Amino acid sequence: MPITTYKVESTVSRQVALPRTCSGCGHSWMGSVTVTASHSTDSSMSGPNEKEKAEARKTALEKLEVAAKRMEAWGDVTREVLCPRCGQFDAGAMKRHFPKGYATGLLGIYRGKIWSNLVLFVLCVLGFLIVVSVALSILTSKEARKYSELAFLSIGALALIFSVSLSFGAYKCARKFGITSANSRNVRAMIEATSDAYRLALVVDAYRKNKNSLSGDAWIDVLTAAGKRHRKGQSA
């Protein structure tokens, strides 16, 4: 008789306060970063009991404590780093993300997004080819006739799901790569022609759209839109 297994999971989180110092006005404040930890295990009983749930939560809390101490020791200079007084960024965030100023940092971020989308596109295409080739080799092999109809359909369905997902991912990456590549000259011209105050406004805009973080996908939209506005202004 097959044994049914059940998943016992526990996820916990807490806020970790990190000291910030503004690179502009020197104001000090505490940034709050959420740290999350989880733990899961299998239960072969009739279902997760209270003891297993308590043990899973205890382990998750232990992991959370380690993660929180690591965060307090190493810090986080990406999230919750905008000065509430003057709108400049924390000194640690500036050192990490814009060590050579906003102009060089913004150009580096935009180039990084271009190449990352190209790499992801290539990986999606390779994944698609691997899935299709593996599925075809299994379904057309001599051993395929031994498979039941259900197994045959299951393999085909899984291959279809993975191939469609990878195709959609490849399309999204190719689209983003095309948009960023086509507008790279506009973005570069805009960054070189504008002031640091304008560049700071772009960084703040992307930061807020990335949910108070200096990492995320909002950079592409913000910088591409600014590049297009600059081009229209130049041609007007």
Tell me the pLDDT tens digit for each residue of 102-132.
999 999 999 998 999 999 999 999 999 998 8
What's the Cα-to-Cα distance from 232 to each of 117, 222, 235, 236, rounded to whole Å?
26, 16, 5, 6
Question: Does the residue 1 lie in any domain?
Answer: no
Residues 115 and 144 in one domain: yes
Structure confidence at residue 48 as a pLDDT band (50, 70, 90): low
Residues 82 and 38 in one domain: yes
- Among 50, 67, 97, which residue terminates a domain? 97
Q: Which domain holds residue 135?
A: 102-235
Question: Does the residue 45 lie in any domain?
Answer: yes
Residues 76 and 114 in one domain: no
**Domain count of the fold of the chain:** 2
Residues 183 and 68 in one domain: no
Question: Does the residue 209 lie in any domain?
Answer: yes
Residues 191 and 135 in one domain: yes
- Among 97, 124, 142, which residue terminates a domain? 97
What local confidence, expressed as pLDDT, does residue 100 receive?
94
- Among 97, 117, 132, which residue terminates a domain? 97
Give pTM, 2 decimals: 0.75
Residues 60 and 128 in one domain: no
Residues 88 and 125 in one domain: no
- Arithmetic mean of pLDDT over the chain: 87
Question: Does the residue 178 lie in any domain?
Answer: yes
Q: Average of pLDDT values for 169-182?
A: 90
Of 117, 119, 124, nearest in space to 183 by CA:
117
Is-contact 178 114, C-beta < 8 A? Answer: no
Question: Does the residue 180 lie in any domain?
Answer: yes
Residues 89 and 113 in one domain: no
Q: 69-76: long-range contacts (C-beta < 8 A, 24 or more apart)?
A: 71/16, 71/18, 71/33, 71/35, 72/16, 72/18, 75/18, 76/18, 76/31, 76/33
Question: Does the residue 213 lie in any domain?
Answer: yes
Residues 219 and 111 in one domain: yes
Q: Does position 1 have pLDDT exceeding 60, yes or no?
A: no
